[in-house]
């Protein structure tokens, strides 16, 4: 099992910051510009945000299942595979960010009242033929760390670029 590197408090701090950072980095940029890929095999900011929303859908859904005690609902779906079945990219960055904010608010509402026992209680999940212990902290930590890497990617596309257009 991947050992969480964040405590619940640090995971919450990162999860709270992501929507604000996305807003700051995209301020002044048009949906058209944010939809442009920087290179042939690279994602646009819109595609990165769609991927983040898919991760919240899958891993946030797993958090919800753990909080509600419905372990049978845990999904091992790869967010990239899930994303192929929906069209989040055509929404544009601003609309997608509003949806992301709503997703994040629901997730934070679930997480903020949990006890340490709730965060760390594990269940065994069958993932691609292997059994792994998973907890709310595992999924929140995974989500927070994953988002940090993609925030750096969007930062390179916006802040590290020639400026809003």
Cβ neighbour number for residue 158 with a 10 Å cutoff: 20
Q: What is the pLDDT of residues 13-37, one digit of tens each?
A: 999 999 999 999 999 999 899 998 8
CA distances in angstroms from 124 to 5, 39, 50, listed in the order given: 20, 40, 29
Structure confidence at residue 1 as a pLDDT band (50, 70, 90): very low
CA dihedral 147→148→154→158, nearest 10 degrees, is: 140
Superfamily of domain 8-158: dinb family like domain (1.20.120.450)
Do 45 and 31 meet the contact criterion of CB atoms below 8 Å apart? no
d(Cα 150, Cα 155) in Å, to the nearest integer?
8
Q: Pairing state of beta strands 130-134 and 123-127? A: antiparallel
Taking residues 149-159, report their average pLDDT. 89
Bigger pLDDT: 131 vs 127: 131
Domain borders along the chain are 8-158
Q: What is the pLDDT of residues 76-119, one digit of tens each?
A: 766 655 556 555 566 789 999 999 999 999 999 999 999 999 99
């Amino acid at each position: 099992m991947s050992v969480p590197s964040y405590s619940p408090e640090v995971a919450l701090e990162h999860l709270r910051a992501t929507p604000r950072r996305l807003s700051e980095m995209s301020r002044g940029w048009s949906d058209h510009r944010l939809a442009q890929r920087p290179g042939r095999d690279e994602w646009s900011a819109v595609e990165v945000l769609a991927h983040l929303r898919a991760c919240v859908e899958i891993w946030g859904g797993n958090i919800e299942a753990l909080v509600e005690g419905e372990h049978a609902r845990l999904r091992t779906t790869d967010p990239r595979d899930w994303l192929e079945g929906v069209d989040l990219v055509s929404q544009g960055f601003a609309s997608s960010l509003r949806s992301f904010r709503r997703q994040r608010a629901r997730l934070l509402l679930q997480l903020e009242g949990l006890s340490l026992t709730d965060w760390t209680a594990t269940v065994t999940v069958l993932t691609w033929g292997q059994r792994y212990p998973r907890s709310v902290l595992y999924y929140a930590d995974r989500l927070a760390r994953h988002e940090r890497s993609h925030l750096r990617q969007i930062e390179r596309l916006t802040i590290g670029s020639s400026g809003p257009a």
